Structure 1
Amino acid sequence: MLFPTTCVALVLLAAVARAAVVTENGYPIMWEKAVAELKDMPTADGVVTINPWEYSQRMGMYRLLLSSTDQYMRSMGPSTNDSPLWGLPLQLGWKQKSGRLVDPTGASTCGQESADPMCISPKSWWACVNYYLSVIPFLAAVQTGVIGDGVTKITIQPAEGAEDYCTSYTDCSTKHADLMALWETFFQTMKTASESGATDSEKRDQILSTMWAAQQASLQQATTSCSERQQSYSGPEITFAQSWVNAADYVSAAYFLSNLEKSVQFMNPLPSRVLTATDSPPNIPDLTAEENHTLYIFSWMSSINRLLGGTLVRSWKSAMCSDLAREKGRALLDDLVLNPKFAVSGLLSILTEMATNC
């Protein structure tokens, strides 16, 4: 009679062991080891050259971004952990820990835990998408005077074997002018709002609206620029990746408060490894119930929106018409992702009712 109990215990232990890890000592993976000041980045002949294909340096870009913007984020809350930019380094940490920065072609050991864990592969779709959410905002922050002294020249080390990544402000603004402009608008708005006489609520809306507009633009550009890299992944991983991108439509429209605590809460149930061809969500034995639920919800929202010709996303965006409505939207996101008992079938009617009150 002990055999079934032992089996259950082993299954539960495996599920716990595979649970997504998104923090280390309460912060993004290897945050404390990341470069904290621009002067500590590699410099040659007076030019700072950052290697975004080395994990600690890409994470260092985020650490510089967070520390340089803290003074403008007081409307978000009293703590430095209240900044809505925390979601970005946490995403990078999850991707690294879950093996999504590894070379998916198998042609190199880049990113492999047992061989070269600090390497970020330019062939990784996930690393490519993150490039547009790390290098682009970093260069925009430098250009707007948020990072650096306005004199020191900063450039980005090219990726070996990949020529489609921009490597300087001039290069990136030439190739992605609209995208760079949106990130510059965010940083300028952040500075202006922090110094204005508006209420904290008004400042938050200004900052969050421009931040999410820039993040959405980065994702849209990345899905086009990085699309060929998806060919190296399994069908289930591609489906998850696409639904992960689509989920940003809901998060951004609700002005999701992506501070440290809230971001961790929403990232903990993300899949802790790359999905394989044999995985069938939401019934993957070695993933936790929470991870399987997240895969189901992401897939459901993406599928329903596609079947309805985009109606679900349009209804969601229409319903997010005021600060109060967006607060309700954020509560709905909590229910969708964190409450397995939430009746997803009633979501469209809830949104329709909310939209009529706009």
Structure 2
Amino acid sequence: MAVLASWGWVLAGCFSAAVAEISNISSLYPPLWEDSPEQISDYRMEDGKYVINPWVFTNRMGMYRILLNETATYSERYGLENEQSFLWGLPTMLGWQYETGRLADPTGMTDFGNKPEASLCISVDSWWADVNYYLSVLPFLAAVDSGITGLSPNQFTILPPPKDQMRFCYNVSGCRSAFPETMDMWKDFFQYMQLPSSDSDSLLKKLWDAHNSSLEYPIHAFVDRYHYYSDKEKKFVQNWVNAIYYLTAVRLPTTLNRSHSFQSCLPPRILIDADIAPFIPDFTPVQNKVQIALKLLAYIDRISGSLSLTLWESLMNINLARELFLKVFEWFLGSLKHNMFSEL
């Protein structure tokens, strides 16, 4: 348990890294946020319906922007300018994937994401892109189904990728048929958000549970994409997926500031076989340490037969323990801010 706690503090520090007092909230936005559709009418119309192409970066990011805009009223209780919405974790992670080249074609057979003229293309051969599809399209469709967006499923069409079309769903009825539990979880999250009696802790639990449910199918369905990547990137993918289950137990609040800061601890590019943490020269010390922490956590999880996760979940089910963890997280946040300013 001591090892798990130590990993927790490292993770908290990771979330807090590089955080400073930023007066301009827009500077925290994911890449091309302002260029992404803000409302459904910003998408092009064809045959009387708005067309959303989730294989174009700004189109996919637009679904998140619509969700943030349409739920802003319900997030006001948590902070101004919607920056305290827990939904920010989704678009910021998509932004990190875009900036680090993880949405580009890993096969090298196309220019998708690899050249300026095709920089907005999202490749269906990307493991990251395929998994994120289930964390963007499904929440969006569930939000529509919940009524929170005021949109009708008949107002828009979601386009399929150029290949492997059968591995995805494209509308409320199709996704509900294929993934009923996941769609119900996201719908429940959005419906609970609208209740005046909703509280942040319960909302976070519903968010993380729905998030994990969205991952259940794609993290196994797209393992065939692994062979496009180096062994180091493949191992990072596996370690990262493992860590998500530990994150879920903590119910970390994925606000804009925290989610933006979290990116500073993640790899700034796709890993290659020559990368050996903690000695990757173009990684920051924090990024190197997080690679080691993720590897250690995965090792502990494996040798314990996931007993470590069970223990961690049991510990985090205790409100006092979870609150203590989050307080330590805030302490890291404050201390890192202080250190940063003292160096200026």
Q: TM-score if structure 2 supplies the norm length?
A: 0.85
Partner of 1:63: 65
| Residue of structure 1 aligned with 2:39, choices 37, 40, 65 | 37
Question: Does the CA contact (< 8 Å) of 1:46 and 1:152 recur in 2?
Answer: no
Superposition map of 1:192-271 within 5 A: 192=195, 195-196=196-197, 203-271=199-267
Give the C-alpha shift of residue 337 in structure 1: 11
CA deviations on 1:84-118 (whole Å, 9 max, x unpaired) are 11011000010000000011111111011444110
Q: Hey, what's the Cα distance between the residues in 2 that align with 1:231 and 1:119? A: 21
Q: Hey, what's the Cα distance between the residues in 2 that align with 1:70 and 1:49? A: 24
Partner of 2:188: 185
Matched positions, count: 312
- CA shift in 2, pair 1:175/1:235, >3 Å: same
Partner of 1:137: 139
Partner of 1:120: 122
Q: Hey, what's the Cα distance between the residues in 1 that align with 2:147 and 2:125? A: 32
Partner of 1:313: 309
- CA shift in 2, pair 1:277/1:331, >3 Å: farther
Partner of 2:10: none
Q: Hey, what's the Cα distance between the residues in 1 that align with 2:328 and 2:315? A: 12
Question: Does the CA contact (< 8 Å) of 1:86 and 1:258 recur in 2?
Answer: yes
Higher RCO (C-alpha 8 Å, min separation 6): 2
Superposition map of 1:276-287 within 5 A: 276-287=272-283
| 1:168 matched to 2:164 | no
| Identity across matched positions, percent | 37
Q: Hey, what's the Cα distance between the residues in 1 that align with 2:122 and 2:242? A: 24
- CA shift in 2, pair 1:112/1:239, >3 Å: same
Question: Does the CA contact (< 8 Å) of 1:100 and 1:274 recur in 2?
Answer: yes
- CA shift in 2, pair 1:333/1:127, >3 Å: farther
Give the C-alpha shift of residue 144 in structure 1: 0.9
Segments of structure 1 that go 5 or more residues without pairing to the other structure are 1-18, 197-201, 341-358
| 1:296 matched to 2:298 | no
Rg larger in structure? 1
Q: Hey, what's the Cα distance between the residues in 2 that align with 1:32 and 1:232? A: 32
Partner of 1:156: 158
CA-atom RMSD in angstroms: 2.3
Question: Does the CA contact (< 8 Å) of 1:87 and 1:263 recur in 2?
Answer: yes
- CA shift in 2, pair 1:40/1:79, >3 Å: closer
- CA shift in 2, pair 1:151/1:302, >3 Å: closer
- CA shift in 2, pair 1:301/1:82, >3 Å: same
Segments of structure 2 that go 5 or more residues without pairing to the other structure are 1-17, 19-24, 337-344
Q: Hey, what's the Cα distance between the residues in 1 that align with 2:72 and 2:299? A: 38
Q: Hey, what's the Cα distance between the residues in 1 that align with 2:110 and 2:153? A: 38
Q: Hey, what's the Cα distance between the residues in 1 that align with 2:247 and 2:333? A: 11
Q: Hey, what's the Cα distance between the residues in 2 that align with 1:121 and 1:320? A: 37
SS of the residue 1:76 aligns to: coil
- CA shift in 2, pair 1:236/1:335, >3 Å: farther
Larger mean Cα displacement after TM superposition, 139-148 or 277-286: 277-286
Give the C-alpha shift of residue 79 in structure 1: 4.0
Question: Does the CA contact (< 8 Å) of 1:75 and 1:204 recur in 2?
Answer: no
Give the C-alpha shift of residue 253 in structure 1: 1.1
